[in-house]
Structure 1
Amino acid sequence: MVEAVDIRAVLADVAGYGPFFEVMTNPAERVDPTWRPMADLYTDPEPLRARIAHVRRVLDGADDRVAASIAFQGLAARILSAPLAVVILHGALPLLTARSLHWRVSVTGPWPLWAADPAAEPLPADPAAAARAFTDLLVEEHLAPLVAAVRAQVRISERLLWGNAASSVAAGKRLIGTGRPAAAARAARIAGAVLDRGPFTGSGERLPPSPPDVEWTFRRRSCCLYYRVEGGGICGDCVLGAARAQS
């Protein structure tokens, strides 16, 4: 018999990786009326419009496409990092749907996330099966609706946005493996299987590993556009970096 998962405990455990891995579960947060389900972010255009405008101001007047890309990347990383870590480290899938997972606005840093009554299901030990369950839930409930919502605000490439999400998967894999080296190989296998599924397919290539990566290092086939910000640069996994190295 598969043991039940204490989802509050495992979410608290992975929160130690930093704010992008934090999902609060304190029931006392129910009294705060500013929490809204993620579904609202995908259907009500105003909060996402305000978030993109906020990112534009923070980036000192970056154009709409850059602001939309960076806003999406921050939200996608926020949504997928904790579930990915729980899948890798605890063999369970947090059932954080668009209705059960909530956000509230923060003027500094990533928006906090909260789930009042979190649930989870145990996963098979097979990395491919675990990756399939993770990808299917995250894409259907969150990432595909978020891609559509951002593109309804700004004319931006769908391929670019999925590249941003893929980059967040690879970054999560690296952080998890660095923090817990014993889990690095499993992290690489699961994240690799995620990147081979659905809209992640073709978003990048897996190269021989460069430390601290284990098994592979990710290089995307698109660019998040951060280089267009004044004083910005090229991310470590950017396709432009490879092109410049070959020139």
Structure 2
Amino acid sequence: MKAPLDLTEVGSVGGFFALRTGAPPVGAQVAPLARVYAGDGGPLAFRVDKVAARLGAPDARIAVSVAQLGLAARLWSVALGSAALHGEVPDLDPALLHWDADGSSPDDLWLTDMATRPGDAASIRGVVQDGHLAPLADALRTRYRISAPLLWGNAGSALAGAARELDTWARRTGRTDVGERALALAAELFDHPDLRSTGTLRGTAFRRRSCCLYYRCPGGGLCGDCCFDRPPQRSVPGSSPPGASG
């Protein structure tokens, strides 16, 4: 008989890989993600405002981008980590996966009912990309002025980051098979129109073709996979520098 998916081991990779199960905490900003995607903008707006205040973001799009990047990283990490370690993924049904917009990993995601799917690339894509990232992008673009290429660039960056973190953990713990599976799955996942155009993945190295806009924050710099080699000079107020896809 197959052992149940060990979420504790998956979470040991790092906070972004952790997933809580059972009844979610009660809070004003806790909601099933299906409700958030369907138009309950309260939690999304709260998260964007919280990120904007923390970063001192001069443009709402920066906070939208950073907030979406963080949630994408959580979702990819949970699914990819489970698949690489145990060959199956939790079914992150948006109706059952609750998000605390005021929380941070590992206490921001709660799955109320545990079921699993096979740990192949098709299942991961269905669970994360189709089940969450596409409707999340639609919800954000309905509410905020932000481009689809930027959001998908964030999704690609988050996927590459999850694979890289798994590979680092695997090398450190002597589980190189886990790292190999993670990188192979990531390569398959990038072979999709929404992700293929976001950047170039070579092993653990990723160079994206868009910018998450973080450099525009006070004290902000470039991320390691940014399309820019140095922060662009600020242009006319209200315009976006080339490549920013904002």
In the alignment, does 2:65 pair up with 1:69? Answer: yes
Q: Are positions 1:238 and 2:226 aligned together?
A: yes
1:41-56 equivalence runs, <5 A = 41-43=36-38, 44-56=40-52
Pairing partner for 1:119 from 107, 115, 119: 115
Q: 1:75 to 1:63 in 2, by over 3 A?
A: same
Counterpart of 1:38 in structure 2: which amino acid? L
Residues 223-244 of structure 1: CA distance to partner in whole angstroms, max 9, x if unpaired? Answer: 0001111111111101112899
Query: Cα offset for 1:20?
Result: 1.5
Whole-angstrom CA distance in 2 between matches of 1:239 and 1:77: 19
What is the distance in 2 between the residues matched to 1:79 and 1:92? Answer: 14
Counterpart AA for 1:168: A
Spell out, residue by residue over 1:93-136, the C-alpha distance to the aligned partner (whole angstroms, 9 max, x if none): 2111101111124366676111122111234xxxxxx1122112
Per-residue CA deviations over 1:138-164 (Å, capped at 9, x if unaligned) read: 122111010011111211110010110
Q: Is the 8 A contact 1:72 1:161 kept in 2?
A: yes
Gaps of 5+ in 2: 233-246
Q: 1:105 to 1:52 in 2, by over 3 A?
A: closer
Q: Give, in whole Å, the separation in 1 of the partners of 2:103 and 2:117.
A: 34
CA contact (8 A) 2:32 2:95 kept: yes
Q: Give the TM-score normalised by structure 2.
A: 0.84
Residue 184 of structure 2 is matched in structure 1 by 189
Which residue identity lines up with residue 216 of structure 2 in the other structure?
R
Letter in 1 for 2:26: P
- Residues 221 and 231 of structure 2 are in contact (CA less than 8 Å); yes or no, is this contact kept in structure 1? no
Tell me, which stretches of 5 or more residues in structure 1 are unaligned? Answer: 124-129, 208-214
Equivalences for residues 1-247 of structure 1 within 5 A: 4=2, 6-7=4-5, 10-25=6-21, 27=22, 29=23, 32-34=25-27, 35-43=30-38, 44-106=40-102, 112-123=108-119, 130-181=120-171, 182=176, 183-207=178-202, 215-241=203-229
> Structure 1: which amino acid aligns with 2:4?
D
After superposition, what is the alpha-carbon deviation per residue over 1:59-97, rounded to whole angstroms, capped at 9, x for unaligned? 114311111101111111122211110011111021111
2:122 aligned counterpart, secondary structure = helix
2: CA distance, partners of 1:61 / 1:242: 19
Query: What CA RMSD, in Å, does the superposition of the two structures yield over aligned residues?
Result: 2.1
1-structure distance, mates of 2:179, 2:34: 33
SS in structure 2 of the partner of residue 13 of structure 1: helix
Q: TM-score, normalised by structure 1?
A: 0.83
- Tell which deviates more after alignment, 107-116 or 46-55: 107-116
Aligned length: 224
**Change in 2 beyond 3 A, CA 1:24/1:226:** same
Q: Distance in 2 between matches of 1:108 and 1:21?
A: 12
Which structure has more helix as a fraction of its residues? 1
